Amino acid sequence: MDFNLRPLLEQLELEELNKFKSLLRTLPPEDELQHVSQTEVDEANGQQLAEILTTRCPIFWVEMVTIQVFDKMNRTDLSKRAKDELREAALKSLQKNKVPLSGIARIREPKCANEEEIQQHLEEGGEGGGGEGEEPELTQEQGGSVTNPEEVTEGLEGETPGTQDTYSSIWETSGPIWKQNLWPEASEKLHRFTQRYERLVPFCNPNMLAGPFPHTVVLQGAAGVGKTTLAKKWMLDWAQDHLPGTFHSAFYLSCKGLGRQGPCTFTELLAKKCPDAQEASPQVLAQGQKILVVIDGFNELRVPSGSLIHDICGDWEKPKPVPVLLGSLLMRKLLPKATLLVTTRPEALGELRLLVDQPLFIEVEGFLEADRRGYFLKHFEQQDQALRAFEGMKGSPALFHMGAAPAVCWVVCTCLKGQLEKGEDPAPTCRTPTSLFLRFLCNQCSPAAPGRGPVLHLPTALQALSLLAARGIWAQTSLFDGEDLGQLGVSESDLRPFLDGKVLQADVDCEGCYAFLHLSVQQFLAALFYLLDRAEREDAGGWAPDIGNVRALLSKEERLLNPSLTPVGYFLFGLANQERARELEATFGCRVSLDVRQELLRSQEEALVREALAPITELALHLQSERDLVHASFCLRHGQALRRLWLQVEKGIFLENDGASEPGTWAERSQSDRHLLPFWADLCSMFGANQNLVFLDISRSFLSTSSVRLLCEKISSVPCSLQKVVLRNVSPADAYQNFCVILGGYETLTHLTLEGNDQNNMLPILCGVLLHPKCHLQYLRLVSCSATAQQWADLASSLETNHSLTCLNLTANEFQDEGARLLYMTLRHPKCILQRLSLFHCNITSDGCIILAKLLQESSSLTHLDLGLNHIGITGVKFLCEALKKPLCHLRCLWLWGCAITPFSCAYLSSALSSNQHLVTLDLGQNSLEYSGIKVLGDALKLQSCPLQKLRLKIDHSDAQIQKLLEEIKEGNPKLTIERDNQEPRNNRPSSADFIF
């Protein structure tokens, strides 16, 4: 921020601070604070409120409303301090003489001779702008705010005949983002979207701080985020501010369409765009200060880099190529006093900077996270489906980032809505952008789509469309006309399935032309072009050498010249697998060649793979075939940012059991195993090369002794940073033992899970890990271990010496009452620091429960205990409850899920809850307590002294008497949350992992 908010808020008394908070939510746009809870704001002091505002709200909004609120509170002293700091920051910015690349710009360098003139200008300037002899400020020219598009149209009444129709038609062609049902409640959303940016633009915001503003505004942002819509909306606002006696006009120049136009004069160019220009002389237009020119899509100008700055024309009547005329306009050789509004994608900013002088750069972000969530809620009829779909998209960082474009949100909603209505899981579709766009293409354009009959030549049409997309990407254009289609041998009727499915659309600004729904759709189809069989590509319009081959597509040089090629490469990697090839062939009847996969590997463009994996921090890798292993070994070496890896190896890739195969088969498989081990070694090398990897989960995997040995060698050979390791149902039997050997002294390891039935002779080695002086293990989870009584005794003994383990989970082990006795001897040891213990389903009876209850009465460190699915009986519950009453018992969470507790035992529980001051969580799920038992519990739960915050019960929803009783309990104790456990037991068990892992 350009002023320090914290000391200003700390000057407010408590009553003034509360008034500041109440006024804060009344200033537009009110939705800036929607994502911050009212309670959080109400409870914050001055310092905390400053932190909330500056870290979670747009800075420009905070600066603006802070001054406004201080003025409303008559705290002019604080308002003046804020304004003074803003002016000082502006002066520093001017002295540096730098133009920001993006974001928010409020004040730019004025045409003043020195710093004193700048200071005078800032001090004297009011809303009206500069001093004597200076041009009127643009902020004076903005008439009134526009609340919706309909008001804009009404405001154009009274214009010169023909003008109103021209501007109205421009608004009506604002594109598929706002029309064609891509944005529910388009008018309301449009107003809120444009208002977000109007505060930053001098000619849109009359309340901006006084200062010399630039006459060139550049809206930059990714494809489809709303730059064109903003420009058209502001153009209409400009056109309705029609002052008598002045020439007031606006011109809309679309670079997409103009790029196809031949040479013309600047007069001819303007005459085609505005009827008024035909009646005004160039001299009048050149001196006009109330002229707005919108140059939309600067990135679409297809000219060599740096060429525009060398070909400048100031002659209105001299024919020139349209790019030359536009470059001259940007350099102020034509219409030098007009206001210019330019839209472009970031990749063209370098070229644009060479042409414009001191522009105001504004980054258009499109849909923010709250906008995307709101869009999903509007698109789906059921809120639960909307939120499930939204979380699905959010689960893919790449797809969620693309969701800044409303068109991409529409694609996601369209795909997932059909799946959710059929009861299908949407997660696989949202896993990557490739899977999402493939599903979209197949759903929208297949012959089986609703309302569509058989389509002739669909494979040919798909091949032609993909070639059209690829040519457009290489030529850096998104607009295609009938001539382009004719070169491919197709007509509009051939492309009807793709037009009906909204994959391809008639362009709204250029009659007779077509454009893809979004740039990402075009990039996806361009990637598909390289996947189609070579012979069929030639049938669809020739090999087209001008668009290159896979090697050219992946080359670093080409991608630097044309950044749109990089996403095409990403999509191509995603499409190159058998499952997606089969889906394409089944849907469209086209032949797909997977030879491209070998081209991807032979390309030797490791930089592209590194770039593709650079943003990936989490990866679930499922190796189903030897080919998967080969490809994964090539790619994973470059995943330097990878932090979490889930690995599953299907049966059949490695030779698991030498003695289980016939001799001939064994020899063949053994040779294959040796052939694959180098690729496996390459894959495992990532553990040494990647210092960011902190989590490894190997589950349901069938390895070989050799592959396990290689994996362990790679992990132990170099210092690693693994913190959490999970081994679950891994073969062969000695895999667990080998892993435990390398974990001894592994200093970074804090969490270890070992689960499976083949953990033979593993516990003795694990005890050595716990006794190692460099052991920092905090969490240990042993599930379904095969261990002897002596091995359990050794484990318990090692806990007395270990000084790091705080969580122990022994779920589903035959621990029995003798194991409980061993733990009692360990946990009562003064040096034992174990705090959380899970003995779920360990065959513990009331005898074992009595031993554990005795432990709780002594001075132990135990705070969490899970005894779920153990038949502890009435006696066990009684002794536990007696322990809870003791002052030395510090237990905070107790799980007794499915312990056969009866209503009779509830009297013991009620008595314990009345006396205990520490227990905050109690799980009594899957116990039939009935009305009588819950009523007895309720007597204690209603007490204000009862510390319990979370209670889980098995509740019969059909029992009205129980429902009424629960409502009474909640009324008496509002802080208590009661969860209902009435589902299938094993699928609805509250996992004790939430307090351990």
Supply 101's token pair.
């690349």
Asked if CATH classification 3.30.70.20 holds for the domain at 5-95, the reply, yes or no, is no
Residues 6+ apart with CB under 8 A from 475: 302
Please provide residue 605's backbone torsions phi and psi, each rounded to the nearest 5 degrees: -90, 70
Nearest-angstrom CA–CA distance, 550 and 535? 16
Q: Which two tokens stand for residue 788?
A: 């002897």
Higher local confidence (pLDDT), 982 or 907: 907
* Residue 164, number of CB atoms within 10 A of its CB: 17
Is pLDDT of 912 > 60?
Answer: yes
Q: Which residues contact 660 (CB under 8 A, 6 or more apart)?
A: none
**More confident position, 313 or 163:** 313
Which candidate, 876, 868, 888, 886, places its Cα nearest to that of 852? 876
Q: What is the mean pLDDT of residues 484-490?
A: 82
Query: What counts of helices (H) and strands (E) characterise the chain?
Result: 47, 21
Q: How far apart, in whole angstroms, are the C-alpha atoms of residue 133 and residue 867?
A: 85
Continuous segment of H or E residues that includes residue 952 = strand 950-953
pLDDT in the model for residue 759: 62
Number of C-beta neighbours around residue 125 at 10 A: 18
Task: Tell me whether residue 793 is exposed, middle or buried, using C-beta atoms within 10 angstroms of its C-beta: 0 to 12, 13 to 18, 19 or more.
Answer: middle
- Enclosing H/E stretch for 751: strand 751-755
Task: Summarize the confidence of residues 53-62 as an average pLDDT.
Answer: 76
Q: Of the candidates 684, 679, 746, 689, which has an alpha carbon nearest to the alpha carbon of residue 709? A: 684
pLDDT at 142: 30
Q: Is the pLDDT of residue 163 over 60?
A: no
The predicted structure's pLDDT at residue 664: 43
Q: Is the pLDDT at 467 greater than 60, yes or no?
A: yes
Q: How confident is the model at residue 25 (pLDDT cuts 50, 70, 90)?
A: confident
Q: Which residues contact 483 (CB under 8 A, 6 or more apart)?
A: none
The proportion of the chain whose per-residue pLDDT surpasses 90, expressed as a percent, equals 22
pLDDT at 699 over 80: yes
pLDDT given for residue 128 in this prediction: 32
In CATH, what is the architecture of 185-363?
Answer: 3-Layer(aba) Sandwich (3.40)
Q: What is the DSSP string of 295-341?
A: EE-GGG----TT-GGG-----TTS-B-HHHHHHHHHTTSSSTTSEEE
Displacement of CA 80 from its chain's centroid (Å):
40
Q: How far is CA 624 from CA 120, 630, 646, 679, in A?
A: 73, 11, 14, 15
Asked whether 749 and 723 are in contact (CB, 8 A), the reply is: yes
d(CA 593, CA 532): 6
In terms of DSSP H, where are the helices of 637-734?
Answer: 663-684, 686-689, 705-717
What pLDDT is recorded for position 612?
75
Query: Positive or negative CA dihedral for 303, 305, 311, 312?
Result: positive
What pLDDT does residue 829 have? 84
List the Cα angle 672/676/677 in 5-degree steps.
Answer: 115
CA–CA separation, 495 and 906 (whole Å): 71
247, two tokens: 């020439």
Sign of the CA dihedral running 742, 745, 748, 752? positive
Q: What are the pLDDT digits (tens) for 308-320? A: 777 788 888 889 8
pLDDT for res 920: 94
The angle formed by the CA atoms of residues 926, 931 and 934, to the nearest 5 degrees, is 70
DSSP 8-state symbol, 987: G
Residue owning tokens 């980054």: 363
What's the pLDDT score for residue 151? 32
Chain-centre distance of CA 754, in angstroms? 32
Give the chain's end-to-end CA distance (angstroms, integer): 39
Query: What does 339-404 look like in DSSP terms, one character per residue?
Result: EEEEEE-GGGHHHHHTT-SS-EEEE---S-HHHHHHHHHHH-SSHHHHHHHHHHHHTSHHHHHHTT
H-helix segments, 97-199:
115-124, 149-155, 163-172, 186-198
Give the range among 34-48, 154-168, 428-442, 633-647 with minimum mean pLDDT: 154-168
**Cα–Cα distance, 453 to 442 (Å, whole number):** 15
Taking the alpha carbons of 764, 770, 771, 774 in that order, is the dihedral positive or negative? positive
Per residue, the 3-state secondary structure of 643-657, as one string, reads CEEEEEECCCCCCCC
pLDDT digits (tens, 9 = 90+) for 614-632: 788 888 999 998 888 888 8
SS3 per residue for 884-917: HHCCCCCCCEEECCCCCCCHHHHHHHHHHHHHCC
Residue 292 DSSP one-character state: E
Measured CA to CA, the distance from residue 715 to residue 100 in angstroms comes to: 46
Spatial distance between the Cα atoms of 636 and 690, rounded to a whole number of angstroms:
10
CB 758 within 8 A of CB 729: no
Q: With a cut of 50, say whether residue 751 has pLDDT above it.
A: yes
Strand partners, 696: 645, 725
Up-side HSE of residue 295: CA atoms within 13 Å toward CB? 28
Q: Are the C-beta atoms of 778 and 805 separated by less than 8 Å? A: yes
Query: CA-based diameter of the chain, in Å?
Result: 103
Judge whether 956 and 982 are in contact, CB under 8 Å. Answer: yes
pLDDT at 449: 57
Q: pLDDT grade, residue 396 (50/70/90)?
A: confident
Average pLDDT, the chain: 78
| Residue 957 vs residue 125, higher pLDDT | 957
Question: Is the bond into 359 cis (omega within 30 degrees of 0)?
Answer: no
Q: Across residues 829-841, what is the average pLDDT? A: 90
Segment 876-895 mean pLDDT: 94
Q: Span 114-143, mean pLDDT?
A: 33
Q: What is the DSSP letter of 983?
A: S
Judged by phi (left if over 0) then psi (alpha if -120 to 50, else beta), residue 12 lies in: beta
Return the higher-pLDDT residue of 276 and 903.
903
| pLDDT band (50, 70, 90) for residue 85 | confident
CA distances from residue 357 to 108, 109, 269, 354, 369 in whole angstroms, order as listed: 11, 11, 23, 8, 34
Residue with token string 């009862």: 946
More confident of the two residues 590 and 60? 590
Confidence at residue 868, expressed as pLDDT on a 0 to 100 scale? 93
731 forms beta bridges with 702
Q: In whole angstroms, how large is the CA radius of gyration of the chain?
A: 35
Q: Coil, strand, or helix at residue 132?
A: coil
Question: Are the C-beta atoms of 825 and 856 separated by less than 8 Å?
Answer: no
Instruction: In whole angstroms, give the CA distance from residue 361 to residue 343.
Output: 10
The answer to whether residue 601 scores a pLDDT higher than 80 is no
Residue 994: partners with Cβ closer than 8 Å, 6 or more residues away: none
pLDDT (tens digit, 9 = 90+) per residue, 209-248? 544 455 789 999 999 988 998 888 888 877 776 434 344 5
